[in-house]
Amino acid sequence: MPPKLNVHNFPRPPLLEKTPRHLQIKWNNQLVAETNDAYWALETTHPPTYYLPPSSVLLPLTRSSHKSFCEWKGAATYWNISNPANESEVVKNRIWSYEKPTKGFESIKDYLSFYAGPWDCYVDGEKVEPQPGDFYGGWVTSDIEGPIKGGPGTWGW
């Protein structure tokens, strides 16, 4: 069993590093993405956010007009994806990337990060829980501990 990772011991600004963990995203039992070659961003009070290489994504994505800005990584581009079991069902703005990340985050240029839903996300075979709230995209696993930002009453942390 991996050692516990307390989110209050993660740094601010966030640490970005390669992770050897096995990541999978499945939707209706179909593999959407799989890799052992991802990055994770570790930031105080947040569970890890994973960034997967574009080559690991097995379904086509279409660019969304939605944008956001991260104080650490810069301007984010969002992506849409069609449900493999029902092509007419399109999920919008649940995948993002950084086309021109800021200094210190250049290595995740064009890498893709997925919110933990509506698909199922796995880290080393363990199904993750989404970070509380609907703003942040962290993945919570059993090795993560400590109060996590995102739920009611945590916005100002």
Half-sphere exposure of 73 (CA within 13 A, CB side): 28
**Chain Cα centroid distance, residue 12:** 18
C-alpha angle with apex 21: 17 to 24, nearest 5 degrees? 115
Q: Is 80 exceeded by the pLDDT of residue 2?
A: no
Q: Is 90 exceeded by the pLDDT of residue 157?
A: no
Q: What is the mean pLDDT of residues 23-51?
A: 97
**Chain Cα centroid distance, residue 66:** 17
Q: Specify the residue for token string 């995740």.
A: 108
Its pTM stands at 0.95
Cβ contacts of 49 within 8 Å, gap of 6 or more: 40, 41, 43, 113, 136, 137, 138, 139
First to last CA, the chain: 30
Determine the Cα–Cα distance for residues 101 and 71; give it in Å rounded to an integer: 11
Q: What is the mean pLDDT of residues 95-106?
A: 98
More confident residue, 5 or 154: 5
Query: Tokens for 147?
Result: 């109060």
pLDDT per residue over 118-143, tens digit each? 999 999 999 999 999 988 999 999 99
